[in-house]
Amino acid sequence: MEVNKIFENNQKWINEKLSLDKDYFNKLSEGQSPEILYIGCSDSRVTAEEMMGAQPGEVFVHRNIANMVISIDLNVMSVLNYAVSHLKVNHIVVCGHYFCGGVKAAMQADDLGILNPWLRNIRDVYRMYQEELEAIENENDRYNRLIELNVKEQCINVIKTAAFQKAFNERGVQVHGWVLDVKSGKLIDLKIDFKKELEQIMKIYKLS
Ligand code: CO
């Protein structure tokens, strides 16, 4: 990607959109009502909209290192609250990916400075599932499994929020856990048993 090509590319993109619909950008400027909130990794290989075939206006996106939903992170919590309470999205997706550098870094015994408190949340997931993870002999399989379990725990972190619980009671908002396999491009639905998780989580985390 050459930075000086970007504005040229942008003009091509504008022309393409206008050639199909001359009011395209006028319509976009009128507002947004996305159906989906997507929370994914900042990794440059995991492009939120492109891999889903989504168009501008269709998906509200938040990305951070290792697709984390941390209760004291004002950024992700603002996005979640705005998407659920104001934009009224009906689906919340947490999407992780194999070959995630954030998850890999969390598994190394290194002092990573400002990343330490962030990545510690992934270590906490490891600790919760230590028995299951350490029963996996192949290191790569264990790494992949941690990536999946991290997605599951971040979905659970969504469920723990008051905004989600309110929207769930009102209109049955759903949470989905996905993983992108960077090596094949395939998007995998982890098929988290949402009802079961919800029942379990609400026993402790019910707010409303
Ligand atoms: Co990543």
Segment 59-91, tens digit of pLDDT: 999 999 999 999 999 999 999 999 999 999 999
Taking the centre of ligand 1 as the mean of its atom positions, its distance from the CA of residue 113, in whole angstroms, is 18
100 belongs to the catalytic site: yes
Assigned superfamily of 32-205: Carbonic anhydrase (3.40.1050.10)
Give the model confidence (pLDDT) of 176-200 as tens digits.
Answer: 999 999 999 999 999 998 888 888 8
pLDDT band of 1, cuts 50, 70, 90: confident
**pLDDT over 90 percentage in the chain:** 93
CB 117 within 8 A of CB 138: no
Give the tens place of pLDDT for each residue, 95-122.
999 999 999 999 999 999 999 999 999 9
- Count CA atoms within 13 Å of residue 66 on its CB side: 28
All CATH 3.40.1050.10 domain ranges of the chain, comma separated, are 32-205
Q: What is the pLDDT of residue 195?
A: 84
Catalytic residue among 62, 100, 155, 176: 100
| Ligand 1 midpoint to CA 123 (Å) | 15
3 state SS of 66: coil
Asked if 64 contacts 86 with a C-beta cutoff of 8 angstroms, the reply is no
CA distance 161 to 109: 31
How far away, in angstroms, is 103 Cα from ligand 1 center?
7
What is the 31 CA–ligand 1 centroid distance (Å)? Answer: 30
Q: Which of 23, 22, 25, 31 is nearest to 60 (CA)?
A: 31
Of the CA atoms within 13 Å of residue 19, those in its CB half-sphere come to 6
Q: Quick one: tokens of 144?
A: 């992949």
Two tokens, residue 73: 């992170």
Question: Is 43 a catalytic site residue?
Answer: yes
Give the Å distance between the CA of 187 and the centre of ligand 1: 14
Task: Band the pLDDT of 168: cuts 50, 70, 90.
Answer: very high
Catalytic residue list contains 127: no
179 Cα to the center of ligand 1, angstroms? 10
DSSP for residue 39: E
Catalytic residue among 62, 97, 155, 176: 97
| Structure confidence by residue, pLDDT tens digits, 13-50 | 999 999 999 999 999 999 999 999 999 999 999 999 99
Residues 6+ positions from 96 with CB-CB distance below 8 Å: 40, 41, 66, 67, 103, 147, 148, 150, 151, 154, 177, 178, 179, 180
